[in-house]
Chains A and B, each alone.
Chain A
Amino acid sequence: MSRSSSRALLALTFILIAGGLLVLNLGGYLQAVEGMALRPLGALQGWLSQRVSAVQTLLTSPADLATLRADNLRLEAEVARLERELIGVREQAAEAEVLAGLLGYARTRPESRYVAARVIGQDISPFIRSVWIDRGSDGGLQQGMPVVTERGLVGRVAEVYATIARIQLITDPQSTVNVRLQTSRADGALQAQLNGELWVDAIDQSASVTAGELVLTSGLGGAFPSDIPVGQILTVRKRDYELFQQAVLQPSADLEGLLVVLVITNFQPLAPPGAP
């Protein structure tokens, strides 16, 4: 057999083995093996990610970094706290209007429980928007759990292994989030576009949506808890001949610079990742 044909045969063999692995994985038979392989890889990812973050911080910080960093952290925490309070107060006021007529109605809302996790890597594929975190099923994480930062919604747990998990970001084109506009009370569906923009679609034509309006999760569909801040409306597109209006959204959370996220562990999602 000539050298070139033996190489072709070798390449074909590898491709066929890879095809077999693909089929086995689709059937879910490789879950345990993947989990075992990801344990050391996740540890290595975490170690490297910490070093990279440290170097990156050192290189991008100003000279008198100790004082400035402390001040910045304090102010950021203060701004985040005030923003949360403001959103809470506005939301309560809007809800009070809706609920005023419903005598005897009392709404109880359980306190969320969080697990903090460090972002240790991004998806290798440039076509998929997701990140890896250093907590997995050992830390109580389950598929579908919502993920947030102190600023707002990040996404939800798409894959869980023992020590690490993959988070599907809201900027992934496969992700859909049911949302409600805070002031106009209109419902919509948040969908990432292929160019990376976030669009709130399916907003009722009669709703008066304005730029700057806050957008929260609606809780419809059961994939996310309600009232998590998602972002602010940037621009509105309304055409008389269309059934719905659309709006471009600026996410609250800094999805490009995620370092630490919070996973809400006491929320049981009704829909699998990918469903709204």
Chain B
Amino acid sequence: MAYLLGTGLMALLAVVQSSLLNRFPFLDGTVTLILLATVSWALTGRVTEAMLWAFVGGIFLDLLSGAPFAVSSMALVAAVYLASLTEGRFWEAHPMAPLGIMAVASLVYFAVTMTAVWISGHPIDPGLALTQVVLPSTFLNLLLALPTAQLATRLRESAFPPPVTMG
């Protein structure tokens, strides 16, 4: 059920990204909703779901883009995998951990998509892309990283409450 709901949610987030968020850029960057959602879900420990959602969400993003198909999927899966590597580390429970993880995930996501777009023959100025797109988008993602992580944790606790052991 979670997989099905997640797929619908990813489609909705992709459309919101295209029709709403891209109208309000900060320089040329915008919040990357699907990255925020999937990385935050991975941080709650539901990594398999997060990875599937990242894959499906990336497909929806690429359907609405002129970028090479399925590249966003690769980038999002890679970002979620990197986020999952933090599990079990001593600083995992630190309240600021989502900030660092989101910064790394955003940079990985943009590095992969930028490289793919460049390989497909689309000219890109790395300096301009960094200052106009990557850093502003990462900044916006960081602004929303903590509230999204909180929301994901609450959602996880209500949808999948931890088992209670007696005796």
Stretch at the interface among A12-20, A71-79, A82-90, A135-143: A12-20
A81 to B123 Cα, complex, angstroms: 37
Pairwise interchain contact A14-B19, C-beta atoms closer than 8 A: no
A residues within 8 A CB of B44? none
A194 to B129 Cα, complex, angstroms: 9
Pairwise interchain contact B124-A194, C-beta atoms closer than 8 A: yes
Given contacts A173-B123, A194-B125, contact A124 B11 (CB under 8 A): no
CB within 8 Å of B: which A27-49 residues: 30, 34, 37-38, 41, 44-45, 48-49
Pairwise interchain contact B63-A38, C-beta atoms closer than 8 A: yes
A173 to B123 Cα, complex, angstroms: 6
Looking at B18, B29, B123, which has the most chain A CB atoms within 10 Å of its CB?
B18
Complex A-B: 13 CB contacts under 8 Å: A14-B55, A19-B70, A21-B59, A22-B69, A25-B68, A34-B69, A48-B15, A123-B22, A124-B64, A127-B114, A127-B117, A128-B66, A174-B122
Q: Does A130 sit at the interface, judged by CB under 8 A?
A: yes
Pairwise interchain contact B81-A11, C-beta atoms closer than 8 A: yes
A17 to B52 Cα, complex, angstroms: 12
* A: interface residue count bin: 35 or more
Looking at B65, B68, B117, B122, which has the most chain A CB atoms within 10 Å of its CB?
B65
Pairwise interchain contact A21-B70, C-beta atoms closer than 8 A: yes
Pairwise interchain contact A128-B64, C-beta atoms closer than 8 A: no
Pairwise interchain contact A127-B122, C-beta atoms closer than 8 A: yes
- Which of A4, A37, A123 sits near B66, CB closer than 8 Å? A123
Pairwise interchain contact B28-A126, C-beta atoms closer than 8 A: yes
Pairwise interchain contact B81-A37, C-beta atoms closer than 8 A: no
